[in-house]
């Protein structure tokens, strides 16, 4: 169980004093794992039994169980660090920092995903007559990758770098068609224009983007990767990696939602490509 997320999700379920405990937990979870019921009760200005009640309310057996699970969750999150690249870093250091930072971003995305939105996305894609993928700049290759993944299924999947072809694709999307737009910030003007064209055409618009962004206004569902992007000049956009892994999950969910017929399709594609490769030694 992700304790911090559960606490956040259940704030509205809590009583007045349990809420005070929750606030203390969210304030400094790292410190909490080391303190007694007596200490936490004092900090939160509640009685000791309220601590126990809070723990049971969110699904733990008691306070020791709560502390243990919190510690485990925090330890998972702490495996990955976010670093800056310095001008005098050597190649090994740079490489290590970039990998660690990417791992950190991915772990964070994993923790914060909106699963209901993903399910809704899969549901739309499953019933789509045609799917068009759009992305600009760093997100262009994500859109390209998504098209490549969906090309293994029979639902038509479209991607183009050509801005006119993109507009045609958006204008040509009707009810029953799906448009998928990738943008970390959701502030790219050209992409918002595409999304609006599709939206106004009654196509279903899926945004892999930031909630509340200009792009999100033209989306029927938004899935956000919640990557805090580093503005360091050398640091790459980890969000595009997170978007790609998210698409991997969506593709797998799409395949599962279709059931047995998909396996045969995938097997057919794989077999058909066999001759384009040298055999393994």
Partner DNA sequence: ATATTAATGTAATTAAATTACAAAAACGAA
Partner DNA sequence: TTCGTTTTTGTAATTTAATTACATTAATAT
Q: Which residues in this chain contact DNA in the complex, by CB under 7 A?
A: 15-18, 36-38, 46-53, 55, 61-65, 67
CA 55 to each of CA 41, 49, 71, 125, 129: distance values in angstroms, whole numbers, following the listed order:
12, 10, 14, 40, 48
Q: Which does 62 bind (CB under 5 to 8 A by kind): DNA, a copy of itself, none?
A: DNA
Q: Which does 63 bind (CB under 5 to 8 A by kind): a copy of itself, DNA, none?
A: DNA
Query: Pattern of binders to a copy of itself over 119-138, x per CB under 8 A?
Result: x--x-------------xxx
- The tokens for 168 are 């045609």
Handedness of CA 44, 46, 52, 56 (dihedral sign): negative
Least Cβ distance, residue 126 to DNA (angstroms): 40
Closest CA to 139 of 226, 241, 252: 241
Contact segment (CB under 8 A) with a copy of itself among 4-12, 51-59, 88-96, 167-175 equals 88-96
CA–CA separation, 281 vs 272, rounded Å? 20
Q: Which does 194 bind (CB under 5 to 8 A by kind): DNA, a copy of itself, none?
A: none
Report the residue number, 16 or 274, with the smaller CB distance to DNA: 16
Residue 252 binding a copy of itself, by CB under 8 A: yes
Least Cβ distance, residue 77 to a copy of itself (angstroms): 9
Beta strands in 72-121 (DSSP E): none
Least Cβ distance, residue 192 to a copy of itself (angstroms): 7
Residue 4 binding a copy of itself, by CB under 8 A: no
CA angle 132, 257, 117 (to 5 degrees): 65
Residue 225 binding a copy of itself, by CB under 8 A: no
CA–CA separation, 40 vs 45, rounded Å? 8
Query: Pattern of binders to a copy of itself over 37-56, x per CB under 8 A?
Result: --------------------
CB of 63 closer than 8 Å to CB of 52: yes
Closest CA to 206 of 258, 148, 280, 135: 135
């Amino acid at each position: 169980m992700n304790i911090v997320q559960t606490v956040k999700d259940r704030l509205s379920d809590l009583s007045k004093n349990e809420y005070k405990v929750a606030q203390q937990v969210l304030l400094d979870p790292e410190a909490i794992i080391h303190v007694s019921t007596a200490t936490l009760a004092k900090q939160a200005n509640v009685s000791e039994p309220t601590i126990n009640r809070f723990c049971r309310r969110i699904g733990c057996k008691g306070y020791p169980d709560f502390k243990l699970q919190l510690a485990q969750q925090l330890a998972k999150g702490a495996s990955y660090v976010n670093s800056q690249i310095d001008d005098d870093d050597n190649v090994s250091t740079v490489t290590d920092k970039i990998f660690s930072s990417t791992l950190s971003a991915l772990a964070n995305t994993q923790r914060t995903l909106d699963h209901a939105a993903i399910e809704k996305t899969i549901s739309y894609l499953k019933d789509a007559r045609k799917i068009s993928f759009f992305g600009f700049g760093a997100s262009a290759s994500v859109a390209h990758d998504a098209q490549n993944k969906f090309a293994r299924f029979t639902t038509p999947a479209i991607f183009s770098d050509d801005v006119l072809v993109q507009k045609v694709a958006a204008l040509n999307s009707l009810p029953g068609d799906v448009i998928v737009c990738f943008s970390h910030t959701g502030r790219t003007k050209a992409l918002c224009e595409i999304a609006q064209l599709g939206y106004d055409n009654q196509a279903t618009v899926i945004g892999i983007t930031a909630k509340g962004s200009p792009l999100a206004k033209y989306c029927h569902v938004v899935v956000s990767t919640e990557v805090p992007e580093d503005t360091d000049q050398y640091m790459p956009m980890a969000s595009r990696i997170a978007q790609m892994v998210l698409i991997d999950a969506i593709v797998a969910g799409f395949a599962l939602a279709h059931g047995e017929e998909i396996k045969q399709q995938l097997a057919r594609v794989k077999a058909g490509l066999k001759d384009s490769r040298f055999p393994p030694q």
